[in-house]
Structure formats: C-alpha cells, structure tokens
C-alpha cells in the first residue's frame, strides 16, 4: 500500500472534491509505513514540522490557507535532505532512501504548487 498525494478544492457546500490526475502522473507520498517511519518520525518532529507528522495518526488535509506554511515545512525538510535520510528508518541504503525521500518531496511540492495556483488544498492519504 502506498500513500497518495492529491489536490482538492472545496465545493460551495464545503465538501472536498479531489481533482483528477492525468494518466501517468506518479503521486506516491511513500509507503504506508512512512506514516510513522519517515513523515511522523522523531527527526521530522524535531525540526518543528506540524503538518507531515499528522500522518502518523491520520490522513493529512492541508487546507488552502495553510498551503504556504506547508510549502515552507516541505522546503525545510528538503534543505535537510541528507540528515533526513540518515535520521529516519530505512530498509535500503542511505543513498537509496535519500532518493526515495527526494522523489516524494518533489511530488508533494508539485501538488502544493498546483493547490496554491487554484486555491485548493493538499491531501495525503
């Protein structure tokens, strides 16, 4: 099982509508185990992250007004990518883990940019 990164908009009634993703677009936010071993890890929490650690307990809904702060959190993690790869649990080598984190951060960044452009939010579930 894999976490999915999606963009959503709020309907006038307040319901979330997840936007369609074009065929061939990779939207994985990591393995299901990453909820606790990566995004909810002590390393991520120690950096002051408040969004991604939510995944350790629940799905993450970043509302439109919170997307800029979410982007800053993701940028912080990216700026510490080497330490991030060393500081989180991994089944592979540190370099392979680093590449996996880099790929997932890129997916999250792209979804966040799209959400910001359209006034939507980001869902990781």
Q: How far apart are CA 31 and CA 38, in angstroms?
A: 9
| pLDDT above 90 (res 23) | no
- What residues form DSSP beta bridges with 123? 6, 61
Query: Tens digits of per-residue pLDDT, 81-102?
Result: 999 999 998 888 999 999 999 9
Q: 41-83 pLDDT, tens per residue?
A: 999 999 999 999 999 999 999 999 999 999 999 999 999 999 9
Mean pLDDT value across residues 26-53: 96
pTM of the full predicted structure? 0.95
Please tell me the predicted confidence (pLDDT) of residue 110: 96
Residue 22 CA, chain-centre distance (Å), reads 19
Query: pLDDT-derived band of residue 22, with 50, 70 and 90 as boundaries?
Result: confident
């Amino acid at each position: 099982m894999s976490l999915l990164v999606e963009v959503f908009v709020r309907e006038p009634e307040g319901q979330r509508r997840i936007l369609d993703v074009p065929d061939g677009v990779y939207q994985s936010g990591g393995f299901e185990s990453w909820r606790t071993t990566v995004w909810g890890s002590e390393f991520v929490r120690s950096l002051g992250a408040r969004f991604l650690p939510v995944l350790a307990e629940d799905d993450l809904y970043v509302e439109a007004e919170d997307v800029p702060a979410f982007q800053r959190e993701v940028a912080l993690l990216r700026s510490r990518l080497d330490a991030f790869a060393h500081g989180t649990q991994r089944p592979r080598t540190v370099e392979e883990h680093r590449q996996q984190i880099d790929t997932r951060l890129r997916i999250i960044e792209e979804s966040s940019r799209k959400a910001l452009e359209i006034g939507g939010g980001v869902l990781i579930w």
